[in-house]
Chain A
Amino acid sequence: MNVFEDIGRGFRRSSGVDAWVVLGVVAFVAAVCLVLLLVRHYTSPGARAARLRKSVFRRLTEANHLTPAERDILLQIARHYQVSDPVELFLKRSLFEAALTVLKVDAAVADPMRRKLYT
């Protein structure tokens, strides 16, 4: 406890300008570290794959002319079945068909989707 009291006394004793410099350096270092962490995360294979998946998913939704609502249903199915890659749903019709019942998707919505995706 004495150690912390000594530091506090040191601060109190030092001038106001010095304290702000130290604080700025610390903040800068913290910011650099944060940026580095973010860059590292962004360039990681997992993040890249996720971006790729998203990109492919987006291209597939466009290629199949899915509406945003239909796209959301697909994402909902993926979440429900914990499918890591929603792209799979474009080929896994069995999962799609099973989810329609479980998620109580209206046939008026499901039928056009089925036609768009699997024919």
Chain B
Amino acid sequence: MGLEATLAVIRTLPKDEAVSHLETALMEPYEEIQAEAFRLLADPQGLNRPEIVVRCFPGLLPGVRKKILEQKWHFIAVAREQIRSGLEKMRRSAYEMLAAIGEVEVAHLLALAVNDASTVIRENAADAMEKIALRYHYHLLNWHSQGEERSRQFVEQNRALMLQALEVLLRTFQIHRKTLFIEIAVEMGGTAYKLITDIVLARRDSPIYRGFLAFLERATSDAAFDLLFKLYFEHEENLRQAALDVMKGRTDPGFLGALAAWFAKLPPEKFLQLSTRVREIPWWKIVEESPELEPALTFKLIEFVSKSFVDPKTRDSMIRGLWKSGHAEVRARVLSALKELRSPLALEVARSGLGDASDEVKVAAVKVIAEAAPADKAKLLAPFIGSSHPELRAIAVREVSRESFDRYLRSFDRLDERTRELAARALAKIDATMLDRLVDEINSMEADRRLKALRIVNYVEAGEDLQPLLMELLNDRDTRVRATAIKIVELSGNVEGMRLLIGALADPDRRIRANAIEAFEQLGDERFAALLLPFVKDPDNRVRANAAKALWNLGRKEVRSTVEGMLEDPDENMRLSAAWAIGELRFEGAAPLLRARLEREPNEKVRAKIADAFARLANPSEENGG
């Protein structure tokens, strides 16, 4: 009894008869009747007439539609066949079913309907496509903005089908005029780029071209900017022109913020690549007209224009355009950017920056002036010597005193000893950075500058502060510098300095020991002889020879036996140094001593050195090192 009994009878009828009754049942607005009819018609093992289900789809109730969705692939294939049929009613039903499925999987089929001969089908399909596209768009944005993994998967799984559908939808834009599809193509980035260049931008007078421009003129997504710059760098003029049209048209306040945020998100190498390829920035006007733009964003825009290939004069003017910003940080950044670019405008802007209300701007301005070093630098910076801002004050003091120090150095040779000393002491009082300047001078490549610096160190009694440097000077290649360095230590009576020099005698580096001994020798003070005596037994031949020479010159003639002993040493290096030392000491009987050794000496190097010593004995004015 009931439906089941009725259908049992129906099933026994001839197939066509049964199908006819079931089709009737499928159109009944009662779910239980539809469900039973559906079951029999859709059963592949039974009547297997899914096309009737698709044909009756518009009248199907939710419960039955749900069953269709559960077997969607089966019905999509049937719908595909019905779409090809010439009957509008069948196509309409098939498209309606695809729209109800509403997945991206059917988008490419629905997209065909947008071009259908029937107005109703076209309109319905466009609406259905819009719904599917909205879902895809949502996931695209969700993935791009939130990094949502589920959305990423959705987008990637459906990308190929969506692209297939988009191709048709963009080609038929003049029919449906739905800009959502353009938005999706833009948001899809590189994968849909070809659709944009080949279809959207194919003709400048087409509705889709205008629609695209209208969208890009309000878009603020990363993908939109990515596309915009990609088009801008195209060689094809119409594509580049499209980008330029958009850039020129962007006057909305949201644009700058979004653009700068996009710049900030780019990897440094891509940002650099982008900025260094730009030769014009048509949208910069809006930057200048937005004085209240957030500093962090403005910094990125300044960085962009700084690295661009825009004509330097124009570029500098563009940066200067931000000088009227209401944010002190921005004004300061304008100055530092112009300074880094070595812009001729930097000094001019910096001069006006000295009067800025913000200390940050003043500091930036002072830095520009310090680097540019105009003739009136000291005059410009002097007012800041008394500033309450520590950095400002420090820079001003340093620069003003540097100016004074430079002048002092330039006139050093013309001053008498007393004036030199007084001036040096006066400068040291006002310039906390004087020691730094002295270090710079001491590190100079010119011996004269090093020498002057050492003498100033002496005047200002800075030997203690510069100990490590003086230590290095014990090794200076210039003997005047070496001697002066040691003299400073001695003459200043600086105990620490003497300790430093004595410390050099025990240095593991034999050159330091040898040079220290040489330095003591040059001091010419016999009191130091006792310090040097142990070095006549130094294991190093050069140290021992220098010590012997120093002691000889300090009046210790007994060291003659030391060099005589070295000349007979089994170590050939000892004999080499002994030959050199005898040539330096030139004591009486040196020549017979050397001659006697020469007769027995087997080593060629030592023999050559003895020959040199003979030459020195014959020519006492010649200077030579050990």
Contact = CB atoms under 8 A, between A and B. Distances in A.
A119 interface: yes
B25 to A, nearest CB: 4
A91 B21 CA distance: 8
Nearest to A91: B25
B330 to A, nearest CB: 75
B2 A119 contact: yes
Contacts of B25: 91-92
A8 B37 CA distance: 71
B1 A93 contact: no
Contacts of A22: none
A116 interface: yes
In this complex, the member of B6, B8, B22 whose beta carbon has the largest number of chain A beta carbons within 10 angstroms is: B6
A116 B1 contact: yes
A5 to B, nearest CB: 61
Interface in A65-87: 65, 87
B6 A92 contact: no
A100 B384 CA distance: 105
Contact of A60 (B6, B17, B30, B32): B6
Contacts of B30: 93-94, 118
B28 A91 contact: yes
B32 to A, nearest CB: 7
In this complex, the member of B13, B24, B32 whose beta carbon has the largest number of chain A beta carbons within 10 angstroms is: B24
In this complex, the member of B9, B10, B29 whose beta carbon has the largest number of chain A beta carbons within 10 angstroms is: B9
B202 interface: no
A103 to B, nearest CB: 19
Interface string B26-38: 0011101100010
B77 interface: no
Contact of B6 (A52, A64, A94, A115): A64
State the main secondary structure of chain B at its contact with A.
helix
Contacts of A40: none
Contacts of A60: 5-6, 9
Given A60-B6, A92-B24, A118 B13 contact: no
Contacts of A65: 1
Contact of B2 (A52, A88, A116): A116
A56 B9 contact: yes
Contacts of A59: 9
Nearest to A49: B17
A63 B6 CA distance: 7
Contacts of B17: 52
Contacts of A93: 28, 30, 33
A18 B5 CA distance: 65
B33 A91 contact: yes
Interface in A20-64: 52, 56, 59-60, 63-64
Interface in B487-502: none
List the 6 closest pairs (A to B, CB-CB), nearest first: A63-B5, A91-B25, A90-B6, A119-B2, A93-B30, A59-B9
6 contacts: A56-B13, A59-B9, A91-B28, A92-B28, A93-B33, A116-B1
Interface of A: 52, 56, 59-60, 63-65, 87-88, 90-94, 115-119
Given A63-B8, A118-B30, 10 more contacts: A56-B9, A64-B2, A88-B24, A91-B25, A91-B28, A91-B37, A92-B28, A94-B30, A115-B2, A117-B2
